Structure 1
């Protein structure tokens, strides 16, 4: 497979997953802002959400207030935001169109029709309950695309690039959702362990679609330690860091077998998986959750960079 084709498949999958993940982050920020109004306002949670997504500096350049409507527009519709849902869907469609012969018609039709539908939405109409409905629509689009991918495409090297892109992006997002708690609590250490703290941890669990599955594993009340453990170290949770790291490594190994040669990305993927497998929640909290997540995201980025280097994404 040509390096450019592999690149387009990899980033096609990443952009679809990123669109879903931006919707998840925005939902967390929005719901946190609602639950904390009695604590003195809601803008800090929206800013925290943008910090976790690393788009806060881009937003600051616009010199606009960080209210719900403005932030929602920036995260959903702003073409100058490299991680907005608009930008992600547009980039995914562009990549899909470039590799039309390497994907199935079901995959293309899902993306193309979604882009056309999204393009007809008037941003000024998306507020309150309408915003939450649109966030659900974005998540359902991602699920529909993934269903088309898993149900129709050949299990060849193209499939491995698509899956690697999906889970590199998913791992990054789970880490960012968890890291949002660091930014939220940064100015308010006294909140740790309080009712609002637990409410926010619960919202993070819901943002990862892990609310019901969490209750199957942990039968007691919501606890920050258990929620973090569930999203980091539980291998049966499909959005956990350990699940993603193991899956990424498996796809990188598949590519090595397909091409008959190990690459730099094999070592990077092994190191990412070993980092998560070689720790415990007590160790993570003792040394700092934020520090662990920052290191995880850096290593995850190295996997992506080394994939690009190994398979000539140029």
Structure 2
């Protein structure tokens, strides 16, 4: 297929995944802020903005106070924020229009309906009373698009580029949440093991939709090292780094079969995956979680760029 079409599919699903991940992170931050005093609540909102990589833009637009309503309106709908959920949904719809001839009617309709609905509900200020419903709608619309793709798309190169965009973005998001929460939310060891500590780690899991799965596997025990291992290495959990890289491998292999040639992206993907799986959680902690995640993010970004070079994406 044309590089321009591959680029449109890849970024369509990256934007949708990013919008959903942003909504999950805001929801976790809101729940955490409700349990804390005003000063600590501001620090929780700062953590959300830092995780999303919006700290500089937010402080330039809104200052350094990090009030809840100010933060979630900036993240969700601020017209001056090019990384807001509203901007991402609009970008996803633009990409869907560009590749309209290579996606099914059901996928196009799901994307277009999501854009129309979210444009309406994010067109006015979001308050705390509406926030839960708004976040639920963002997650639900993303799920509907993904369901339309899984239920109607041929398993061809178009489908594989969509999956590559999804799992590149998902791996990046999980890694950033684990990194920033570990170091920003818990800057010292003093609260470890306390009820507050357990709530904080519960919200780390909630922000990646992993709370129920982790509790089921670990009898409800909240252990920071165990949570880190779960989000990095557990190939059963669909938002873990290991799961994402397993799917990236299979989709790149399918593309290599379809196009009759192995690309450099496959080599990079295998290097990243082999390093990920070969480094046990004890080695991760010894190396330093922050350093390990930094290396992973660099490799993930290198893979994304190589995919775009290999398949001649056009901006």
Q: Same fold (TM over 0.5)?
A: yes
User: How many angstroms does 1:123 deviate by?
Assistant: 5.5
User: How many angstroms does 1:199 deviate by?
Assistant: 1.1
Cα distance in 1 for partners of 2:172, 2:108 equals 25
Q: Deviations over 1:34-86 (max 9, x none)?
A: 22327x43111111111111111111111433111111111100233232110
For the Cα contact (< 8 Å) 1:185–1:191, is it kept in 2? no
Greater displacement, 289-298 / 159-168: 289-298
Greater displacement, 124-133 / 66-75: 124-133
Counterpart for residue 48 of structure 2: 49
CA gap 1:80/1:275 in 2 versus in 1, 3 angstroms = farther
Cα distance in 2 for partners of 1:286, 1:162 equals 36
How do 1:78-89 residues align onto structure 2 when only pairs under 5 Å count?
A: 78-89=78-89
Counterpart for residue 102 of structure 2: 102
User: How many angstroms does 1:193 deviate by?
Assistant: 3.5
Counterpart for residue 24 of structure 1: 24
What is the count of residue pairs matched by the alignment?
Answer: 313
Cα distance in 2 for partners of 1:276, 1:179 equals 15
Counterpart for residue 252 of structure 2: 252
For the Cα contact (< 8 Å) 2:73–2:125, is it kept in 1? no
User: How many angstroms does 1:173 deviate by?
Assistant: 0.9
**TM-score if structure 2 supplies the norm length?**
0.94
For the Cα contact (< 8 Å) 1:18–1:83, is it kept in 2? no
User: How many angstroms does 1:124 deviate by?
Assistant: 5.0
**TM-score if structure 1 supplies the norm length?**
0.95
1:12 paired to 2:21 = no
Greater displacement, 9-18 / 21-30: 21-30
Counterpart for residue 196 of structure 1: 196
Counterpart for residue 287 of structure 1: 287
Q: Deviations over 1:220-264 (max 9, x none)?
A: 522112222111111111111100011111111111111111111
For the Cα contact (< 8 Å) 2:264–2:306, is it kept in 1? yes
Counterpart for residue 130 of structure 2: 130
SS at structure 2 position matched to 1:75: helix
Q: What are the ranges of 5 or more consecutive residues in structure 1 without an aligned counterpart? A: none
CA gap 1:267/1:80 in 2 versus in 1, 3 angstroms = farther
User: How many angstroms does 1:5 deviate by?
Assistant: 0.5
How do 1:164-183 residues align onto structure 2 when only pairs under 5 Å count?
A: 164-183=164-183
Q: Could you say what the CA RMSD is over the residues aligned between the two structures, in angstroms?
A: 1.6
Counterpart for residue 243 of structure 2: 243
User: How many angstroms does 1:122 deviate by?
Assistant: 5.3
For the Cα contact (< 8 Å) 2:24–2:209, is it kept in 1? no
Cα distance in 2 for partners of 1:192, 1:224 equals 9
Q: What are the ranges of 5 or more consecutive residues in structure 2 without an aligned counterpart? A: none
CA gap 1:177/1:169 in 2 versus in 1, 3 angstroms = same
User: How many angstroms does 1:130 deviate by?
Assistant: 1.4
For the Cα contact (< 8 Å) 1:178–1:228, is it kept in 2? yes
Cα distance in 1 for partners of 2:130, 2:234 equals 34
Greater displacement, 137-146 / 60-69: 60-69
User: How many angstroms does 1:188 deviate by?
Assistant: 3.8
